[in-house]
Structure 1
Amino acid sequence: KTCVTDSTSVSNCKNFPSMLTLNSYIQACRGLMIAAVSLGFFGSIFALFGMKCTKVGGSDKAKAKIACLAGIVFILSGLCSMTGCSLYANKITTEFFDPLFVEQKYELGAALFIGWAGASLCIIGGVIFCFSISDNNNKTPRYGNRKYSALLKTKYAVHKILRTLKTPELGSVRTRFDKNAYV
């Protein structure tokens, strides 16, 4: 029991509230939010090991796999948080618009909107994390690209023409532009 005594020595006692006596939807929301926080923590640790700038984690392929795992864990964390907030908001709106519900009615507050925004950012961040890692593994080397090598050949040909061109009034084009000519 928890008891409160006022200045006139009047004591008021009530049974200590137990978590097991809460409504099932509140327990489900709490469980989902605890799961979301735990998954977010482990996702952050995986992300630290999967970054290219850290020396822990092994080779680049191993780091890519760890980073992709971190992205998936972030997505799961966001989904848990989104589900918990949505479940609670559904219960609030159902009770609010029920004309037969006579107890105290609640409205959607800032905490729900912050929860939805945080869950959305977590999901978006996890998706971006997964796609950024997969893009880095599938890229062709910069110098092996056909368009880039054709551009280099064109620049070399134009530079060769400018090098051989001479006019008497301007002097040698080569001396004017030298190696840093932008064409």
Structure 2
Amino acid sequence: MGVSHTAAFGLCLFALGGIIFTTAHNEWKRNSFQDSQLNLNNIYQCAGLWVRCTSGVVGQIQCDTYETAIIALPAYLTALRAMMIISCILGGVSFAMMGASLDCNANIEANQRRWIRRVSGVMLAVAGILTLASVSWYAAEVIREFWEDAANQASFQYEFGAALYVGWISSGLALVAGGLMACCTCTEEYEEDYRYSYNPPKAAKAGPRSTSEYV
């Protein structure tokens, strides 16, 4: 396996871990201590795709699953859940395929290995695009709600949570790893398909000597 494939495999591992962390983490947004009301600075609130949490005392936190049916959730939140789940599935399948395409696996032929690497690279890139779109969409909603809450003088105003930053980094790693895995196989195919071998000339068989003489 070349250096580029090794790097792609390592980046895929970090990207998949980041995508799973982003999907499961509760802090997609958190209350801003600077912009919320002063008497509420000791209260911590955050929200993710699956739960909302509140903490008024250090070490004690209460969470709920939005206390509503799935069909009653905001449409964008339902869409983001689906996008991140698909991203996790694609990333996991891509990682498994990359592992199967390692050169140490002698059960896979060279041509099959190239196509497995290409497909896994494309799948990982799609997972990165879905993650990037999800965290960016959620960030846009946070910004919109921030200014609405500021105009309405709401008690709490929210800012970006840690999960968004991890999601942006993970999506970038997934795109880079997917591009390396998908694009580097093109050069690999060229080198293998158009390679020829040099064979030394065969020794001529000894035959009867010619009786013709030339002056």
TM-score, structure 1 length as denominator? 0.63
CA distance in 1 between partners of 2:101 and 2:170 (Å): 22
| Higher RCO structure, 1 or 2 (CA under 8 Å, sep 6+) | 2
> Are 2:124 and 1:74 aligned?
yes
When Rg is computed on C-alpha atoms for both structures, the one with the higher figure is: 1
Q: 1:132 to 1:95 in 2, by over 3 A?
A: same
Give how far 1:101 is off: 4.9
| Most deviating of 103-112 and 133-142 | 133-142
Unaligned runs of 5+ in 1: 1-15, 145-183
1:121 alignment partner in structure 2: 173
CA distance in 1 between partners of 2:174 and 2:153 (Å): 37
Q: Is the 8 A contact 1:50 1:65 kept in 2?
A: no
Give how far 1:55 is off: 2.5
Q: Is the 8 A contact 1:49 1:67 kept in 2?
A: no
SS at match of 2:98: helix
2:95 alignment partner in structure 1: 44
SS at match of 1:88: helix
CA distance in 1 between partners of 2:72 and 2:187 (Å): 50
Q: Is the 8 A contact 1:73 1:126 kept in 2?
A: yes
Q: 2:157 aligns with which of 66, 83, 105?
A: 105
Q: Is the 8 A contact 1:89 1:112 kept in 2?
A: yes
Give how far 1:71 is off: 0.2
Provide runs of 4+ in structure 1 moved above 6 Å: none
Q: 1:60 to 1:97 in 2, by over 3 A?
A: same
CA distance in 1 between partners of 2:151 and 2:142 (Å): 14
> Are 2:70 and 1:19 aligned?
yes
Give deviations 1:129-176, integer Å, cap 9, x for gaps.
Answer: 1122222121265998xxxxxxxxxxxxxxxxxxxxxxxxxxxxxxxx
Give the partner amino acid of 1:117. I
SS at match of 1:74: helix
SS at match of 1:66: helix
CA distance in 1 between partners of 2:75 and 2:151 (Å): 21
- Report how many aligned residue pairs link the two structures: 129
Q: 1:40 to 1:101 in 2, by over 3 A?
A: farther
CA distance in 1 between partners of 2:172 and 2:80 (Å): 17
> Which one has a larger percent helix, Structure 1 or Structure 2?
1
TM-score, structure 2 length as denominator? 0.54
CA distance in 2 between partners of 1:124 and 1:96 (Å): 32
Give deviations 1:89-127, integer Å, cap 9, x for gaps.
Answer: 010011112354555431012110100100110011000
Alignment RMSD (CA, Å): 2.3
Unaligned runs of 5+ in 2: 1-66, 199-215
